[in-house]
Amino acid sequence: MIPEFQKICSGILSLIEEWEPRLLQLSEQSTFEKRNSQNRSVKQIVGHMVDSASNNRHRFVHLQYQESPLRYPNYATKGNNDKWIAIQNYQGENWSDLVHLWKYSNMHVVHVIRNVDSGKLENKWYYDEDTQVSLKEMIIDYLSHLQLHLDEIDALISEEKIKNN
């Protein structure tokens, strides 16, 4: 494994270890209500993180065997991530199944990161027409993106606790 990525992999695994039990103990009501600034429920935020794991994993793999710079759809632009959430109906997903899908999707992301070819780290992906991002930058950013959404869930959980007291 690339030594620089050890901290990222450890961070992802630590978040999984911390958050899996926290997520599983949430009530159905608290996972279902739409409450954040994007009108997403906790279920939908977790679903978005599953999509993020899937899409990033695909980019990580494609960037190691296809020509650089790579043109690969960005599911997160122009509101497409909301379409992914709606089409997959995360709101109707079994909560335990969704949490486990999130967990194992991210564990596999860690596995992929641990096996990245160091000679491919500067391969680029078109984020949009004007912006290219390297494989290395994507991997480095993944942990902070995951943390961002978990912080969002944490804020929603805290709001609920305050509201109920």
Burial class (CB in 10 A: 0-12, 13-18, 19+), 135: buried
Number of structural domains the chain divides into: 1
Q: Indicate if the pLDDT at residue 160 is higher than 80.
A: no
The CATH number that applies at residue 77 is 1.20.120.450
Range of the domain at 94: 3-164
In this predicted model, what pLDDT tens digit does every residue of 22-54 receive, in sequence order? 999 999 899 998 788 889 999 999 999 999 999
Model confidence band, residue 76 (pLDDT cutoffs 50, 70, 90): confident
Q: What pLDDT is recorded for position 69?
A: 97
pTM of the model: 0.94
CA 58 to each of CA 70, 74, 121, 138, 152: distance values in angstroms, whole numbers, following the listed order:
12, 11, 15, 12, 25
In this predicted model, what pLDDT tens digit does every residue of 50-65 receive, in sequence order? 999 999 999 999 999 9
